[in-house]
Structure formats: C-alpha cells, structure tokens
Amino acid sequence: MVDHTDLKHLRRALELAREALEAGDAPFGSVLVASDGTVLAEDRNRTGGGDRTRHPEFALARWAAENMKPADRPGATVYTSGEHCPMCAAAHGFVGLGRIVYAGSSGQLVAWRADFGAAPSPVRALPIREVVPGLTVEGPVPELADELREMHRRYSAELAARG
C-alpha cells in the first residue's frame, strides 16, 4: 500500500521531473530511500543532451552499486515519477535494490504519448515485474496522474516544436 510517507517521496520525484522538464529534459525524477527512511540520493532525467540512457532510475542503481553494501540494498525503496523502463528495471534487479513505487505506469505513458501524437519509444514498455520477477512494485497512484500527464503533454509539444 502507498502511505503518507510514500506520497511525500513520490511528490519529490515529481518535483525532480518538473526540474528536468524546465531544463529541456524528459519529465522523470526518482528518489532512493534507505530502509530507515533516509533519502540517500535523487536524480532526474538528463536525456536532453542526446544520450537517451540518462534515466534517473539507472543513475540511482549505479549510485547504489557504488555506495551501498549489498546487504543494505534490498531494504531500500526507489520512488519514481514513471515506472522503470526495461533498461532501468534490469539495472535495479542486477544491483539488488528493493521495492519500487511509481506514480505513473509505463502503460499510462504509452497511452498518453499516443494521445499527444508523439513518436513511440524504440524500446517496448514492459511492466517491471516482467523484467525483475518477485520484486515488490506499487503504482500507479491515481491522484498524481493529472499532474504527470500534463508534464508529458508539455514535453511532447516542446519536442514537436523543436523538430
């Protein structure tokens, strides 16, 4: 279940997504939280420079690999504005991190992008559980959907305007 504390971290992930959007990157943000509730690291999408692997969930998995003991990783939670893509889900699984809580699902994003007339992603939107079996995954969170959809609408419009 998504509780008050989860919502607080998800709202921070959405703030980071908005920062990314304002900087010309795709609107995604993520927060890594230890089992005792400490925020360990956070990041946002940085794909605007042309490297389309610069996803925040991937960055946090690598942060965990470099900075966390293997024994501490399963107790940590990654909060993220959008469900992990297969690349990031795989990185999360390889590093051995724990629960994922996302605000919007990959399925929602695919549907929204189709509504906006955006080009489809070159990578299939698989649910996290298909990439990392056995992981605790929670989302989507309906009360954050409108804000998230609006950020993605704006990003699609800006991409189209850039050509």
Omega of the bond prior to 140 within 30 degrees of 0, cis? Answer: yes
**Which one, of 60, 73, 54, lies nearest residue 135 by Cα?**
73
Q: Which pair of tokens denotes residue 89?
A: 């889900």
As a whole number of angstroms, the distance between CA 57 and CA 103 comes to 13
Q: Which pair of tokens denotes residue 88?
A: 């990031």
For the segment 36-55, give every residue that binds Zn ion (CB under 5 A). Answer: 55
Straight-line distance from the first to the last Cα atom of the chain, in angstroms, rounded to the nearest whole number: 41
| Piece of 29-37, 39-47, 65-73, 87-95 that binds Zn ion (CB under 5 A) | 87-95
Q: Are 12 and 42 spatial neighbours (Cβ–Cβ below 8 Å)?
A: yes
Strands (E), 57-120: 77-82, 100-104
Q: Catalytic site residue 150? A: no
| Smallest gap from residue 84 Cβ to Zn ion (A) | 6
Q: Which pair of tokens denotes residue 7?
A: 């919502």
Check 57, 138, 143, 150 and give the catalytic one.
Answer: 57
Q: In the stretch 55-74, what mask flags binding to Zn ion with x, by CB under 5 A?
A: x-------------------
As a whole number of angstroms, the distance between CA 158 and CA 160 comes to 5
Nearer to Zn ion, 37 or 122 (CB): 122
| Smallest gap from residue 3 Cβ to Zn ion (A) | 25
| Smallest gap from residue 40 Cβ to Zn ion (A) | 19
Nearer to Zn ion, 88 or 144 (CB): 88
Size of the site for Zn ion (CB under 5 A): 4
Nearer to Zn ion, 65 or 87 (CB): 87
For the segment 3-42, give every residue that binds Zn ion (CB under 5 A). Answer: none
Q: Single out the residue of 85, 95, 101, 148 in contact with Zn ion (rule: CB under 5 A).
A: 85
Contact residues toward Zn ion (CB under 5 A) are: 55, 85, 87-88
Annotated catalytic residues are 57
